[in-house]
Structures are given as C-alpha cells and as structure tokens.
Structure 1
Amino acid sequence: MNGVQTISLGEIMAKKSGSVDPSKFPGEVFDLYSIPAFDSRQPEVVAGKLIGSTKQIVEPGDVLLSKIVPHIRRSWVVGEKQGRRIIASGEWIVFRSEKIYPNYLRHVLVSDPFHSKFMSTVSGVGGSLLRARPAFVEKIKIPLPPLEEQKRIADILDRAEALRAKRRASLAQLDELTQAIFIDMFGDPVANPKGWLHAKLGDVIFSASDGPHVSPEYTENGVPFLSTRHVRAGEITWEDLKFISKEDAEIQWRKCKPERGDILYTKGGTTGLAATVKTDRLFAIWVHVSLLKPDPEKVDSLWLESMLNNEFCYQQSQVLTHGIANRDLGLTRMVKIKIFLPPLHLQKEFSHRIDTLERMKIVHKASLAELNELFASLQYRAFRGEL
C-alpha cells in the first residue's frame, strides 16, 4: 500500500457498546438501525412495545457493517440524535474510534479490496443463512492515513458516488415513465376506462414453453444459458453468465428457441417479470424462465411486455404462482392471466415511444458504466495512498 499505515478492524470494533431490551420501555420511541431500513438510509422510528428482541446501543458516528447475506454490501454511518435513543439490530458489526473518519471507513467497508477479504470470513450453508464471523473480520487490516487525509478521500468518493446515484435515479425515472405512458395511452387495466376488449395471455401468443427440467452440463464458453436472475422487468441482463455447449443448445432449441421479438417471462423463484428479446444473439434458457411467442397479428411484443409488467398482471401472476420454498408459475396457469387488448396500431404507437426511451436508457447506462469504472479506480488509488 505504498507505505500507508494500516490498522486491524479489531482495534476499532465496538465490542462492548451495550444493549437494551426495548420491550421493557413500551412507551419509549427509538431510532432503530435495522437491515430492512438500510435501503432507505433512514432508521425506523418505532415504539419499544413493537420491538421484540434486545438491540445494541449505538452512537452518532458509529459505522455499521452487515454480517448477514454478506455478498450484499451494506455499511451505514449512524446519524445525529433526534431526541431518541439510538439502537441497532444484532446483524450489524459496530465500529467506533476517534482514529477513523466515519464516512472514510464506510467507503473502505464497501470497496472491492475489502469485500474480497470480508467474504473469506463467511460461514453458513448459503443464501440468507450466510454470516460473516466477527472474530475473523477483526483480523482484517485496512489502510489508515491521517485523519485529514481520510476526510479528503471520503469527500472525493462522496462526490463520485453522488454522480452515480444521480445517473441511477435518471434510469429509474425512465423505467417509471414507461408505465406512465402505458397508463396515459390505455388507462388503468383494473378499471379499463376506455373499454378495450378483454383477453387472456394465451389468446395473443402462439405458445408458452420453458427450458430443460434437468440441470445442464456447463462449459467454459459456448452458448449463454440464462436463468431467472438474468430477467428483470423490461430488461435482459448479460452479466455473470453460464454457458452450455452448442450441441446441448441445439437439443434444447428443438423445444424452446428464443428469437428476437419473443418475451422471456419468469416462472420459477421470482415470478411474473417480462422482458422482450431485442437481440439476434443465440442463447438458451433454464426451466424457471418461460418463452412466450407473441402473435404479431394480435399483439406487439413491447406492448405485451409492459402489460405483463403492469401491477394488474403482476398481481395475477403472484396468485397463480404455487409453492413456498419452490415457487412456480406453471405454463398452463400463466396463459390464463387476464389482459385487455387495444387496437394493434395503438400498441405499435406505444412501442415507438418506448423505443425512444430505450435509446435514452442506452446513453444513461453507458454513462453509468463509465462512472462505475471511475469510482472503482478512485477507490483503488485512494486505499493505496495514490489519490
């Protein structure tokens, strides 16, 4: 690290921060830093009578690191007091020291170099049962420049992070605009104020099929093999791919071959998300993804994608999804999803508008990718004393 001083996390870990059982103070209101509250970056304001277990007592400026589901990077700086006692759930590892500028430490704890070390401390059988072990976390060394340098680094990274956040917010607004245009043109499907014809999904597609029901043999390269995690509402992602051989893909394509204009619709695990195939790239799909072949004389693919991703159809998909541990939206059930059916020329007009939005998204995503690369470079240089 080019001579940068380091410190073990154990030296700044608040091992005796104290605890409280809020239920013994039923009328008192607490600020609770919980894992579910993290995404909003606002602690829960909750009465003691509604809190069912003992919590850690934390202080403003403490830095929290989530030890559960550790592949999701969660670090949070405790905010100022708002006239209430501040507590945190036991899933957080708490750090506290005058040697550390809190926001600098937060950046360290979500950085790539730290995260790789952090994941080596994990135990458990997988998924939500994975836990980072504090006894091992405390042995990890992090760079410790002088306090003023920490503040300078944190300020630079804060500004770069703010740029990324603005770009992500712009993308989210474009996603929301798709549904806003849908409602403006066609009305709410629940009320159907424009009196469009009623139909079912099965009425407007040639077929609904799915991928193989047995685990394939993966290869180092070959044909991309997509699963549920590659399908989001309105988007197919091509990251973290697995591959199968061309020979195996040819066998699968006899039953189920994705083509441009088809729709991928998730049917296992996370169900009810639709994304149109907008590429001629060859790929295959897993059993938990269904392949819908729209009838172009009845329905436009992008319009149908938005219809299926509308809350009206999404809620139907959840009712039709069976199972708890192994959730499944069966092919024979999904085709019963109710839709309305505007004239095809209006569907195509909607599709044209969405094409414009998609081009805007491509520009924003390219900009976000550049900002992500910049941020990663800044992190790398900052924690090596090169910034």
Structure 2
Amino acid sequence: MKQGWEYKKLGEVCNITMGQSPDGKSINDNEGVEFHQGKTCFGERTLGVSCLFSNAPVKLAEANSVLLCVRAPVGYPNITNRKICIGRGLCALYAKENIDNTFLFYSLLGKQSHFEKNATGSTFKAISSKVISNTEIPFPPKSTQLSIVSELDKINELIRLKKEQLKDYDNLAQSIFYEMFGDPVENEKGWEVKKWKEVFNTILGKMLDKSKQINHLKQYKYLANMNVQWGYFDLKELRSMTFTDEELAKYELRNNDLLICEGGDAGRCAIWKETDETILFQKAIHRARLIDTDNADVVYIRYWMQFYKVNKGLKDYISKSTIEHLTGDKLKRLPIPLPPLPLQHLFAQRIEQIERQKPAVQKSITDLETILASRMQYWFE
C-alpha cells in the first residue's frame, strides 16, 4: 500500500444502484428515459446514445454515475453524462464527495479480472450486488486522485489522437474510392458487372471437429473469424489444430488471398500476405482467390466490399438468425462492378501510399497502450 493511502469497499464510497428491466411494453424508440441493458453503447469511457427508451423506468442511473456491466460480459465500466434507465445487465455507482468519479472509473477498469473471477452462473456469468459492494479499491487523498486522473487522461488523449489519425487515413481511402469509382452500390458510372463466382474461386475453411482430429498429425495455426478485421489481421491470439496433408494443400493461405468473414460482421475482409509460417483458416471464413486477373485487382475489391457493406449493399445477401451470415452460395452471386483494370491498379497504388503510413501510427498506439497499462498497474494493483 502506498504511503497515505487506504483501501475502501465500493459500498463505502459509492451509492450503488442495481439495474432492473422495465416492463417490456414500456420500451419504445422515442418516449421516456433513455434505456440501456448492457454494454452495447459503451464507448472508450463515455456512454454512447441508445435508440431505446422506457416510459416507465424502474431503476435510474444519475448523470455522472459510473456504469458497470454485471452480466456477461462482466466488469466493464463506463461513465454516463446524463440520467438513464438501466436494465439487469448494469449497475450504477454514484461517487460520494470524497472520491472523483473519473478516478472511480479507472479504479474499476483495473478490477476486470477480479470481477470475472467472482462471477457466478452457468449460462450467463454475473456478479452480485454483494460482490460489487465488497470490492475494495485504493483510496488516496482527493488531490492525489485528481493527479492520477490527469496523468492517465493525458495518455488516453494521445491514444485517441493517434486513433483519429488512423480514421483519417480510412476516410481518405473512402474519398479516393468514391472519387474514382462512384457509389459502390448504385454503380452510377456504369462499370461492367460480373458475379463473384466469375472473379474468384471461393471456399469455406475447415470445420472445427476435435473428435475427428488425429493426435499424431502436425498442428498448424489457423485464422478464426475474430482474427479477420476490416483491412488487417489481428494475429495476437492464433489457435492451432491438426490438418491432414490433403487439408493442408486445400486450406493453406497464399499471398493475396482475400479472407471474408462468413458470420458475425459478415463480409468483413482483409488481404493475406505471405509469412514464413504456414497459416490455415477455419470454417467461419471464406477464402477467395482471384481467377480473373485480367479484369480484377484484389485491393480494389477489398475496398469495394467494405463500402458495399457500409452502404447496405450486402443486406439482401445476408441471412439473419441470432447473428448475420453470408453463405457461400450468396457470396458467389454478389454483383461486382469492375472498372477498367488500369484504373483499379491506380487505386491500389494510391491506397498503398496510405497504408504505408499506418504501421508507424499503430506502433505509437501500441506503445502508448503499453505505457497506460503499466501506469494503471502501478496505481491500482
């Protein structure tokens, strides 16, 4: 414990309000108090706006309360700058005079693993009001709290600015696309249109079936849905499984393969670049390999797919149950407008110039996030 500090339970320093869902008939889209059930509208720190309202709220979170997710996923905090109605997935902690609410937010941010360990339930993990009330946080003098908040806020602001810089690059890419090719859905410039199956050879990855895996086969890393993001691959947590020689030949990735999410954020895609390691892919991902290289550039199509999805072009091709799906049959029927190949290549060259700027910015973000994690650990663990 740092000198002059003590630890106090959340129940001692906050007024805690556990959420309760209002009557379903009171839920609407424009009348009453803004309604939040879980972390759907959580931002980096400040709560976003919900499209749901209740004209008969049961439990309210006051403005400047810190919200905490109490049902799966548990332990995520956010601050609301306005009074809202909260359902059973949230609780609200209203800081008393001797604790700063932003300091409380950072304190809870450092308690996520604690809340996860103390969550109970088989189907949905949840934390009780007793767990929340008895959770201890560091409690330095108010002046020290404000000093810590100032330090962490400055690091977070630098991270925000760097992320905004990445968004600016993405907006520039979109602007270039629209300038060169027009609306990706309307095809207002009248480019030649081909179906996806005429341009790509597309297959789904290997089904994950551990019962059919043979232990003596070699294990290879593979891409899952979560590893494929818009325009890049998140390779921090690659899993491994066994593949036969026949499967290895079928599912091994090659340079310039386009990987497309079949479910979740259906259509999300990125272009694979060769590495020294053999990487494969599983069933939740379509692999598209160009067969019509005389008419199509994979970089152009990667960006066309993103803007086509953003502009609701995929809505008639996506099946929905609990989550959206882009099946192989529907993907193969997608109509792709194909401008002249030299124009596609020119677009790819301009995009490459933008993409070259991104790694340095991303590294700055990673370095700043490492510093933030280190300072959070210093102050709160």
The answer to whether TM tops 0.5 is yes
Query: What CA RMSD, in Å, does the superposition of the two structures yield over aligned residues?
Result: 3.2
Identify if the C-alpha distance between structure 1 residues 218 and 34 changes in structure 2 by more than 3 Å, giving closer, same or farther: farther
Which of 265, 283, 290 is 2:279 aligned to?
283
Instruction: Give distance in 1, aligned partners of 2:314 and 2:214.
Output: 30
Contact 1:70 1:132 in 2 (8 A): no
SS of residue paired to 2:250: coil
SS of residue paired to 1:259: coil
Instruction: For 1:186, give the aligned amino acid.
Output: F
SS of residue paired to 1:6: strand
Identify if the C-alpha distance between structure 1 residues 178 and 222 changes in structure 2 by more than 3 Å, giving closer, same or farther: farther
- In structure 1, runs of 5+ residues without a counterpart are 81-85
The answer to whether 1:106 aligns with 2:105 is yes
Contact 1:273 1:314 in 2 (8 A): no
Match of 2:247 in 1: 252
The answer to whether 1:274 aligns with 2:276 is no
Instruction: Give distance in 1, aligned partners of 2:85 and 2:310.
Output: 38
Match of 2:42 in 1: 38
Match of 1:367 in 2: 364
Match of 2:10 in 1: 9
SS of residue paired to 1:64: strand
SS of residue paired to 2:365: helix
Match of 1:178 in 2: 173
Instruction: Give distance in 1, aligned partners of 2:42 and 2:379.
Output: 25
Instruction: For 1:94, give the aligned amino acid.
Output: A
Contact 1:218 1:243 in 2 (8 A): no
Match of 1:70 in 2: 73
Query: Which range is displaced more, 374-383 or 90-99?
Result: 90-99
Which of 75, 79, 82 is 2:81 aligned to?
79
Instruction: Give distance in 1, aligned partners of 2:360 and 2:104.
Output: 33
SS of residue paired to 2:319: coil
Identify if the C-alpha distance between structure 1 residues 154 and 211 changes in structure 2 by more than 3 Å, giving closer, same or farther: same
Deviation string 1:289-348 (CA, Å, 9 cap, x unpaired) is 011001322211111111111226874544323351475422222111011001111111
Which of 354, 357, 365 is 1:357 aligned to?
354
Contact 2:32 2:55 in 1 (8 A): no
Contact 1:168 1:368 in 2 (8 A): yes
Instruction: For 1:212, give the aligned amino acid.
Output: K
**Displacement, 1:189?**
2.6
The answer to whether 1:188 aligns with 2:183 is yes
User: So what's the TM-score if we normalise by structure 1?
Assistant: 0.83
Instruction: For 1:140, give the aligned amino acid.
Output: T
Contact 1:269 1:288 in 2 (8 A): no
Which of 131, 154, 163 is 1:168 aligned to?
163
User: So what's the TM-score if we normalise by structure 2?
Assistant: 0.85
What is the identity percentage for the equivalent residue pairs of Structure 1 and Structure 2?
22
Contact 2:103 2:148 in 1 (8 A): yes
Contact 1:34 1:44 in 2 (8 A): no
SS of residue paired to 1:38: coil
Query: Which range is displaced more, 336-345 or 57-66?
Result: 57-66
SS of residue paired to 2:374: helix
Instruction: For 2:15, give the aligned amino acid.
Output: A
Match of 1:93 in 2: 91
Match of 1:83 in 2: none
Match of 2:206 in 1: 212
SS of residue paired to 1:123: coil
Query: Which range is displaced more, 133-142 or 194-203?
Result: 133-142
Instruction: Give distance in 2, aligned partners of 1:158 and 1:313.
Output: 32
Contact 1:313 1:339 in 2 (8 A): no
Instruction: For 2:206, give the aligned amino acid.
Output: P
SS of residue paired to 2:252: coil
Instruction: Give distance in 2, aligned partners of 1:218 and 1:133.
Output: 43
Instruction: Give distance in 2, aligned partners of 1:21 and 1:264.
Output: 42
Identify if the C-alpha distance between structure 1 residues 58 and 305 changes in structure 2 by more than 3 Å, giving closer, same or farther: closer
**Displacement, 1:232?**
1.4
Instruction: Give distance in 2, aligned partners of 1:308 and 1:17.
Output: 43
Instruction: Give distance in 1, aligned partners of 2:310 and 2:142.
Output: 54
Which of 321, 334, 342 is 1:345 aligned to?
342
**Displacement, 1:72?**
7.2
Identify if the C-alpha distance between structure 1 residues 140 and 292 changes in structure 2 by more than 3 Å, giving closer, same or farther: same
Which of 58, 77, 89 is 1:55 aligned to?
58
- How do 1:100-179 and structure 2 match up within 5 A? 100-111=99-110, 114-125=111-122, 129-179=124-174
SS of residue paired to 2:178: helix
Identify if the C-alpha distance between structure 1 residues 156 and 212 changes in structure 2 by more than 3 Å, giving closer, same or farther: same
SS of residue paired to 1:132: coil
Query: Which range is displaced more, 174-183 or 130-139?
Result: 130-139
The answer to whether 1:303 aligns with 2:300 is yes
